Structures are given as C-alpha cells and as structure tokens.
C-alpha cells in the first residue's frame, strides 16, 4: 500500500533525501541493518583498496570501459542529430546491472555476510547477482514472481546453473513488486547473516545513493569519451527508466552541465489508462512504496496499480527517488515510449547497425529516433544502450512474427 506521506521537514536536505524524496520507510527491525549497511558502504567508498578491487573486476571481468560508438547508418537514415550509443550491452551478462552487482557483492563480502538475497523481475538482476555470488563464493537466493519465472524461463535456468536458488513468489501480482516484498521479509528474518543485494536505484536509504554510485562509472567514461571524439558535450543523453539505475548512472556526471539535456524514457505500454503502462511521471503521484518516497502508480485509495510494458525491466509501479527530484526541479525531462515504438526501434537498430538492443534500451533508442530528425547535424545525442536483446528473443519472435 502506498500512502501520501510528506516528510516532516521537506526542505531538510540530509543523507538519503533528494529534495523531499527518498528516505527510509521500513519496519523498525530493518533500521539497524540499514544503518550497518550505510556505515559499511561509507567506509568502503573511502577505502582505496576496495575501489581498486572493484575497478579491476569492472575492467577484467565485466569488460569496462564500454565503447562509445557512433551509429553512422542510423544517423544517416534519420538525417539530423548525430547519434552515439554507450555500449553497456557489451558487458558480461549482457547489461549494465553487473556494475552494481559487483559493487554490492564486494561490499557483502567485506561485511562478512555469507548469504546474499536478491529480487528479480525479468531475471537480469538475478543473473547478475548469481554471477557475482559464484565469482565471490557467496550463497545466493533469488526471489522471483511466479509469472516472471514462467515468462523468463531461460534466466531461471541460467541462475540455477550459476548455483543460485530461485524461489518463486505466488503472492499479489506474482511479479517484481511481490518479489521485492518477499526479499525484504527474508532480510528481516535473517538480517545477521544475509546481505540484500537490491537491483536498482530504489528502496530505503542508502540503496538509491549506493546503486547510483556504482553506476556512475557510465557517465564518467561517457564524458571523457565524447570530449575525446567530439571536443564538446552532447546535446542530450537519453536513457530508459525502470527503477532508474542505468539512467542515473548515465546522467550523473552531467547534472551540473546545464546545457546538456537529460531525457529519461518510461514505458508507455499499450495505453494511457492506469494498469496499461509504467509511466510514473504521467500517471503517478507521490507516495511510499518499498522503503522510499517517490512517484508511484496508485489508485485513489493508494493501492498500487498494476503495470504493463513489453519490456519486463521497465515494468515497476515506482521510480528511483533521485529521478523524482530531477523531474520536479526540471533538470531532467521524462517522456514515455509505447510498446509499438520500442519494437520498431529494435528493428531499426538491428537493420541499420547490426545491434539487437534489449527491449528496455529500445525505449531510449525510440526517443532518439523520434527527436533526431528535427535537430541539426551539429547536435549530438547519446543513447545509453543498457542491455542486449538476446534475452528478449522469445517476445521479439512472437511480437514481430519472426
């Protein structure tokens, strides 16, 4: 249930708040665990040895830095702004999620926790977590809604092969929101031995800050790469927004560069009615869901709405609190892209560039395709290509009648 709670002092800007958003709305039993996590993370962040180990794994294991690729044929076919792709799709396990899973996995080990739990929707975060647990020798349990387990059967098998236990969740809508609730229940019960490895820039403080920090490497690399290739900053950076981790990672280093437009793309699904999409900034209102205060898709009684998107990874009723603040301040713009435009973008990118994007990432590609023609050839758009499309082949084959 979401309730409209405005923090006592909205102007107070303490750790864990982004404007009025963020915070820590959890049962009392988790407060000590979140304090312990915050403290451990602050220490790790300042520890050169921790940072060196993380950098080394990001480089040699995950495959960073990821290239910044000029999409020449896509650009020429649209006849406007130059389009670059930040190739997070080339990372190990196929998406940006490994950046965060590696960071938090190392933190779990440093904290002496031998058991890791995670939630997963499409299964991508579950696969990244299972991968990191195998790498670091940690026990891994992944909660996944029964509906998602059926839809994403291949990822369930990948997780099992990596040695993780996948626990089906049969409550509620049997999807991501219910998997998070179940993971939180496990954490409350096993908090002493267990690390909760959350998969997006969501949840109670310190998660939104910590997850953003682990993805910040995307915009750090991107800034250097675009300055080297073009000698100036881009006109806009475009990223899809589920919970908001790949987008905040791609935006973060540019927030102070006011001339760079930051464009987040939400899932417009198959219609504007509540339940048909996951566009929180169009149909949502401020509320609390799963530990944080942000925009939430809800009905008039504060009951969480169902969501729909062709891409499982964008299909969540709330959005990371830092995006809520960037939205309200006007620093970032949020638009939505419907299922049909995302599918068209997959085909377009496949046939002009030989790149199959994840359906989530295709939402960002679609926005670039929409706005590029009206911009000048001197404009530069950077699309954060958060993942690759292999995982979506079943859906693509059905939707595109391949």
Using CB under 6 A, list all residues that contact ligand PLP: 95, 97, 124, 200, 240-247, 313-314, 358, 360-361, 386-387
Beta sheet of 68-70, edge-to-edge order: 68-70, 82-86, 380-384, 236-240, 261-269, 332-338
Smallest gap from residue 361 Cβ to ligand PLP (A) = 5
Whole-number Å distance between alpha carbons of 13 and 34: 19
Smallest gap from residue 3 Cβ to ligand PLP (A) = 24
What end-to-end distance do the CA atoms of the chain give, in Å? Answer: 41
Closest to ligand PLP by CB, 375 vs 392, is 392
- Taking CB positions, which residue lies at the least distance from ligand PLP? 387
Tokens of 127: 């696969």
Specify the DSSP class assigned to residue 203. S
Closest to ligand PLP by CB, 109 vs 291, is 291
Secondary structure of residue 100 in the 3-state scheme: helix
- Angle between the 97-110 and 28-45 helix axes, to the nearest 10 degrees? 100
Beta sheet of 139-145, edge-to-edge order: 165-169, 139-145, 115-120, 194-196
Smallest gap from residue 65 Cβ to ligand PLP (A) = 18
Closest to ligand PLP by CB, 278 vs 375, is 278
Closest to ligand PLP by CB, 129 vs 245, is 245
Give the residue numbers marked as catalytic.
97, 119, 386
Whole-number Å distance between alpha carbons of 102 and 197: 10
Smallest gap from residue 242 Cβ to ligand PLP (A) = 3
Smallest gap from residue 362 Cβ to ligand PLP (A) = 9
Whole-number Å distance between alpha carbons of 398 and 96: 26
Closest to ligand PLP by CB, 239 vs 305, is 239
For residue 366, how far is the Cα from the chain centroid?
A: 18
- Work out whether strand 261-269 and strand 332-338 pair parallel, antiparallel, or are unpaired: parallel
Are 318 and 292 in contact by the 8 Å Cβ rule? The answer is yes
């Amino acid at each position: 249930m979401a309730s409209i709670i405005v923090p006592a002092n909205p102007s107070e800007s303490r750790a864990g708040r982004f404007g009025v958003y963020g915070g820590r709305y959890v049962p009392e039993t988790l407060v000590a665990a979140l304090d312990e996590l915050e403290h451990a993370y602050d220490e790790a962040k300042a520890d050169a040895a921790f940072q060196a180990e993380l950098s080394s794994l990001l480089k040699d294991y995950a495959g960073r830095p990821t290239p910044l690729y000029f999409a020449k044929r896509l650009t020429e076919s649209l006849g406007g702004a130059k389009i670059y792709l930040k190739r997070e799709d080339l990372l190990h396990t196929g998406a940006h999620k490994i950046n965060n899973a590696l960071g938090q996995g190392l933190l779990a080990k440093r904290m002496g926790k031998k058991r890791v739990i995670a939630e997963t929707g499409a299964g991508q975060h579950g696969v990244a977590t299972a991968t990191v647990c195998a790498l670091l020798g940690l026990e891994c349990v992944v909660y996944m809604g029964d509906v998602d387990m059926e839809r994403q059967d291949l990822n369930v098998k990948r997780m099992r092969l990596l040695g993780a236990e996948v626990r089906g969740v049969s409550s509620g809508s049997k999807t991501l929101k219910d998997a998070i609730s179940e993971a939180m229940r496990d954490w409350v019960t096993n908090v002493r031995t267990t690390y909760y490895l959350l998969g997006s820039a969501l949840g109670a403080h310190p998660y939104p800050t910590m997850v953003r920090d682990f993805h910040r490497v995307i915009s750090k690399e991107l800034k250097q790469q675009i300055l080297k290739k073009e000698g100036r900053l881009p006109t806009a950076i475009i990223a899809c927004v589920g919970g908001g981790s790949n987008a905040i990672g791609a935006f973060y280093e540019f927030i102070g560069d006011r001339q760079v437009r930051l464009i987040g793309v939400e899932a417009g699904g198959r219609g504007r009615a509540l339940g048909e999409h996951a566009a929180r900034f169009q149909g949502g209102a401020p509320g609390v869901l799963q530990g944080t205060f942000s925009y939430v898709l809800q009905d008039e009684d504060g009951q969480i709405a169902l969501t729909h998107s062709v891409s499982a990874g964008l299909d969540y009723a709330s959005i990371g609190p830092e995006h809520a603040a960037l939205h309200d301040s006007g620093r970032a713009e949020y638009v939505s892209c419907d299922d049909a435009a995302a599918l068209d973008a997959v085909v377009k990118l496949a046939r002009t560039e030989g790149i199959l994007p994840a359906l989530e990432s295709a939402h960002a590609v679609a926005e670039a395709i929409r706005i590029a023609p009206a911009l000048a050839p001197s404009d530069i758009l950077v699309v954060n290509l958060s993942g690759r499309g292999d995982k979506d082949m079943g859906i693509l084959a059905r939707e595109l009648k391949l």
